[in-house]
Amino acid sequence: MNKQILLLLLVVNTFCTQYIVYGQGKKSEIATHESIRLETDKIFERLVQIRRDFHENPELAGKEKRTQEIIKKYLLDLGLQVETDIYGYGVVGILEGAKKGKKIAWRAEMDALPNDFPDKSDFKSKVKGVQHGCGHDIHMAIAIGIAEVLAKNKKSLHGTVYFIFQPEEETFAGAKKITENEIFSKFKPDEIYGLHVTALPVGQIMVKPNEMFAYQKEIRIQFKNTLSAEEVKELTVKIRNSLVRSKNGSKPWEIQSITDPKIGLTNPNTIFKDYLIAEENFRAYSKNDVFRIDAEVYETDAARLKNIIPTIEQVMKDNNYASHLLSIMYIKENPTVLNDPNLTRSSINTLDNIYGKGFVTPDYGQVPYFNDDFAYFQQKIPGVYFLLGGSNFEKGIIAMNHAPNFEVDEECIRTGVRTFSSLLFQKGK
Ligand SMILES: [Zn+2]
Ligand SMILES: [Zn+2]
């Protein structure tokens, strides 16, 4: 046998071995995601029942006692290690895969809202004045579902998955407190993921790198209580108008437009890309000799945040009220959800590889009015926050969070469990 042929045979042999190994890897990967799909379908009805139980028994921020007990029992039954000494009524379920890998966290919120809106469902809230109007009941059902699906695939699972059930999201306290807790530094996940169900079409998954929402700030303007009611009204309108910037006269405050294909989040020229808006209702009230105006503003561009206070000062000056002005300050400055660009891109690629190109819908805008304390986790570890569609327009179901008619198509639980079980499975490697 001459040397060249030997070399050729060696090359062919190496190539074939690699091809076979790659082929088998791909094959076992397909089998895993098929098993995730089947397992999700098997538990779907049960997850719907779990969600409805949470929906009927909502608990406000700081009071998630029953919710905690139910989650804890479920995770223990799945064989997960459970920690509750994390903050408030929080629960962390720890699932160890049989194979070596990364430490990945998944976050789901637990609290409900102080609402009393009419609810046409058969599983209405049994607690007067408290409702799951943000969809956290859906998030918990999805997280429980992912825990179950991944627990059943434990033998092929790489790394450790931490299921963080977080209390007190609506008050923006829970995530911050958890990240400050010693136990969190002990877990020290490498990456964190989470989602929010919202008014997009059911099952649609949307994400973008960096800011998912506009920066949310609450300003307090204080001036001497010497202006007439008419003057205050006029001044308020002027301040509000000075705090509006939108593309070509568009109306980014009309949040229902986020799903509009021409101007909504999926369009690269969306009106939700570059704006500054102030909420409609300024809260104006007097206290002793001081008149206060409190207002929430939403700015998409971090670099322009520094212009907000000087803009208001200018309005006061232009209208000869400068001598009445006492102070302008921020009374709320929450961090905003910032998706790690590399992890966002790799997550989109992973999901598109498993479920087909275009499975994840690109998001080009920043949603106004909303924010999530998931931002605190992202300050500590890189993470990605997804939006999951829960609306079914044909059925008249619109999952606009906090709105009086908020309703969710429960099919999104199936999409959420299947998709993110696959993602976390791949991310652990
Ligand atoms: Zn909310
Ligand atoms: Zn929420």
Output the six-digit token pair for 76.
Answer: 């223990």
From first to last of the 429 residues of the chain, give the pLDDT tens digit.
444 444 444 444 444 444 444 456 777 888 899 999 999 999 999 999 999 999 999 999 999 999 999 999 999 999 999 999 999 999 999 999 999 999 999 999 999 999 999 998 899 999 999 999 999 999 999 999 999 999 999 999 999 999 999 999 999 999 999 999 999 999 999 999 999 999 999 999 999 999 999 999 999 999 999 888 899 889 999 999 999 999 888 999 999 999 999 999 999 999 999 999 998 778 888 888 899 999 999 999 999 999 999 999 999 999 998 899 999 999 988 999 999 999 999 999 999 999 999 999 999 999 999 999 999 999 999 999 999 999 999 999 999 999 999 999 999 999 999 999 999 999 999
Give the distance, in angstroms, between the CA of residue 226 and the centroid of all CA atoms in the same chain. Answer: 44
Strands 158-166 and 99-109: parallel
Q: Ligand 1 centre from 401 Cα, in Å?
A: 6
Q: Which amino acid belongs to residue 15?
A: F
Task: Compute the distance between CA of residue 309 and CA of residue 221 in angstroms, rounded to an integer.
Answer: 9
Q: How many A from CA of 197 to the centre of ligand 1? A: 10
pTM score, whole prediction: 0.91
In order of their start, the domains of the chain are 27-211+336-427 (3.40.630.10), 215-333 (3.30.70.600)
Which ligand has the nearest atom to the CA of 387? 2
* 165 alpha carbon – ligand 2 mean position (Å): 13
Span from the CA of 222 to the centroid of ligand 2 (angstroms): 31
Name the closest ligand to CA 109.
2
